[in-house]
Structure 1
Amino acid sequence: MALNFNKDQDYILEDDVILIRPLQKDDYINLLPISLNEPETWDLSSKSAAGEEALKAYIAEALAQRAEGKEYPFIVFDKTTSRYAGSTRFYDIQINNDTLQLGYTWYGKDFRGTGLNKHCKFLLLQLAFETFSAERVEFRADNRNKPSIAAMKSIGCTVEGVIRSYMPLRNGGRRDAIILSILKDEWHGSVKESLKSKLR
């Protein structure tokens, strides 16, 4: 059975803490404060959105990937502060394999460690497993990015291993990537309820 995903549909998710909606071209305005004032946000990321032009290019590329059905980018709105918190996306969407990756996640410093990410991941994993009928959701991160790895483990991801010298770094050298995942049976078996209990 193929992944029940439609690149042309607007998937809008929300609970009492956040609203997640498809990223749009004009959203650079909403994300610009983070882009201009917190460039370190992308220090360990494969793609940077630091600076207005870089942010516009980042969004344009993400939207082009959505148009091809390869990625589906979102913007995240924090309802408790009425501010835009950051962005995330599904990518490497493999319709025939019933799998996708969840990543390119970044938030402004005011939203890190607040519990917002757990709300975001809960809604997106629910969409992936219960609407798209995904069999597997994969996560990747720079193996040096300890906060990101800890966050993925805390939502129920299982570490699968490390791909060495996976890709070049923007400033030279190469990075190792850690691979984690959640399977559909794990989501329905325990991960969903465990993550739900951590929402606050």
Structure 2
Amino acid sequence: MDYTKNIVLENSRVRLRPLEAADFEELKTVAFDDSIWQFTITRAGDVLSLAAYMAAAEQARQAGQRYPFVIIDRASGRLVGSTSYYAVDPDNQRLSIGYTWLGAQYQRTGLNRAAKHLLLCYAFGTLQMERVELETDSRNQQSQEAMRRMGATEEGTLRHHRVLPDGYRRDTVVFSIIRPEWDGLRHSVFAAFDA
């Protein structure tokens, strides 16, 4: 994974490009909604926390720990959220997709699945990964259902796994997609984006 590379991915619904400091003003219009951050480890629901979120994402990219993207709705051209690759393990050919959030008005519209399509295509194709992992708070039923609908396999729950900003120690549900499953999912669940 080359963290210095300017990775731009696009399908019929969304465009992903690297998150930049200049995205702050437009992301403000969708990020300042507490409901988005209810189950997340990082928060960006106000000016200070969004600035900190973006700075941390850039620092993690420079350190080779995370590759953050901005999600652009191709229909409107608007920035609607962000997602990232992280925990990239080239020796074991696996990585995680996470730090994903969308403005409330863009949830359940297909944009998240379209973004996941791009990230999975790049992970299994260009990066030659064998395994992609996704995690979510055990209380976040909407996120878990989205992962199931995209064909990810629920592997189990890591108890008392992460501490949230409010001090709550969450259980994390782990999902994955592996290379032998990808071709079938690409031509079924993600077929609308793979034209």
**Do the two structures share a fold, i.e. TM-score over 0.5?**
yes
Q: 8 Å contact 1:65–1:72 — kept in the other structure?
A: yes
1:126-141 aligned within 5 A: 126-141=121-136
**Which residue, 82, 89, 94 being the options, matches 1:94?**
89
What percentage of aligned pairs have identical amino acids? 35
The secondary structure found in structure 2 opposite 1:172 is coil
- Measured in 2, the distance between the counterparts of 1:95 and 1:64 equals 20
**Could you state the TM-score of these two structures normalised by the residue count of structure 2?**
0.95
The secondary structure found in structure 1 opposite 2:91 is helix
**Which residue, 46, 68, 72 being the options, matches 1:51?**
46
**Could you state the TM-score of these two structures normalised by the residue count of structure 1?**
0.93
**1:68-96 deviation per Cα after TM superposition (whole angstroms, max 9, x unaligned):** 11110000010112211100000111122
Tell me the equivalent position of 2:175. Answer: 180
Unaligned runs of 5+ in 2: none
Tell me the equivalent position of 2:189. Answer: 195
Are 1:8 and 2:4 counterparts?
A: yes
Q: 8 Å contact 1:75–1:88 — kept in the other structure?
A: yes
**1:52-109 deviation per Cα after TM superposition (whole angstroms, max 9, x unaligned):** 1111110111111111111100000101122111000001111222111001110001
The secondary structure found in structure 2 opposite 1:27 is helix
- Measured in 1, the distance between the counterparts of 2:87 and 2:58 equals 14
Q: 8 Å contact 2:31–2:45 — kept in the other structure?
A: yes
Are 1:66 and 2:61 counterparts?
A: yes
Over the residues paired in the alignment, what is the CA RMSD in angstroms? 1.4
Tell me the equivalent position of 2:13. Answer: 17
Instruction: Report the AA paired with residue 191 of structure 2.
Output: S
The structure richer in helix per residue is: 1
State the 1:18 CA deviation. 1.1
The secondary structure found in structure 2 opposite 1:96 is coil
- Measured in 1, the distance between the counterparts of 2:168 and 2:15 equals 37
- Measured in 1, the distance between the counterparts of 2:193 and 2:144 equals 19
State the 1:198 CA deviation. 5.1
Tell me the equivalent position of 2:23. Answer: 27
The secondary structure found in structure 2 opposite 1:195 is coil
